[in-house]
Amino acid sequence: MNSIIKLDIIHFSLIYLLLLIILAIMKKSKINQTKLLLLASFRMTIQLILAGLILTYIFDNPHPAFVVIYLLGMIAFSVHRVLSKNKDINKNFKLAITFSLAFSGVFILGYFVMVVVGESFFSPQYTIPLAGMIIGNSMTGATLGMKTFTEDIKNQRNKIEALLNLGVTPKKILLPFVNNALETALLPTMNNMLGMGIISLPGMMTGQILSGTEPTTAIMYQIAIMIAICTAVCLTVFCSLTFGYKTLYNSRNQIKL
């Protein structure tokens, strides 16, 4: 297969012209988000350029410490993003989310890199890009799951209080909210899996094919990473909510909402 065509700065910059289409549609539709679009595009560009420079250095100077530091940064940022969207939950619930996101991400990542791929966990070429997909999707799943869980509880506060007055235990009251939040968090990933190969060619597979990888190899990697992502999302959200919801009530079966 042909090697990937490298983009020079001039041809690459032409992609930004497509933003004019979005700006035109926004103006016609009276959507006042021009500043957000420009800011998001600018931040994305700067952040990815910095990430590219850092990864280039790490790939040229591979060392376990660099991989660990990069992973810790990913996890810290992911935890911060989830917790920033759920400021009202208690400290122990936040610890449950932190532990669940870190453990699930590292466990699934380690299994994928060392068992499926057969590489060292400290191989930056495999560990860092795969970590971005696994931990990033886990973060999104946890955010969606927690949003669903907290909103459902707020919307049904009166029902919860009525059930408590009838003598129903907090566990029986809260478990349906946990299960519903888990289902909601999993649906985007599973729906994405349903359409792959027919409706869309996913990013990882497309990138590998563009770089000259055989399509069959790219397909196997894509299938593997999607199963890993789905598992990581499920494990993260399940552990976060299973350990977290138990912090909402005490030994006297009083729920602290």
What would the pLDDT profile of 126-140 be if each residue is shown by its tens digit?
999 999 999 999 999
Of 17, 45, 61, which one is at a domain's C-terminal end?
61
In a domain? residue 152? yes
Q: Which of 46-55, 57-66, 68-77, 200-209 has the lowest mean pLDDT?
A: 200-209
Tell me how far CA of residue 123 lies from CA of 29, 58, 67, in angstroms.
48, 10, 8
Pair 70, 177 in one domain: yes
Q: Which domain holds residue 224?
A: 64-248
Q: pLDDT for 189-226, tens place per residue?
A: 998 888 877 766 667 776 776 677 787 888 888 889 88
Of 43, 61, 79, which one is at a domain's C-terminal end?
61
In a domain? residue 253? no
The model's pTM: 0.85
What pLDDT was estimated at residue 3? Answer: 61
Pair 92, 57 in one domain: no
Pair 99, 131 in one domain: yes
Distance CA 110, CA 123 (A): 11
**251 has pLDDT over 80:** no
Domain count, the chain: 2
Pair 73, 38 in one domain: no
Pair 33, 18 in one domain: yes
What pLDDT was estimated at residue 87? Answer: 87
Q: Average pLDDT for residues 219-234, to the nearest whole number? A: 91
Pair 93, 163 in one domain: yes
| Residue 65 vs residue 254, higher pLDDT | 65
Pair 124, 187 in one domain: yes
**19 has pLDDT over 80:** yes
Pair 95, 156 in one domain: yes
In a domain? residue 255? no
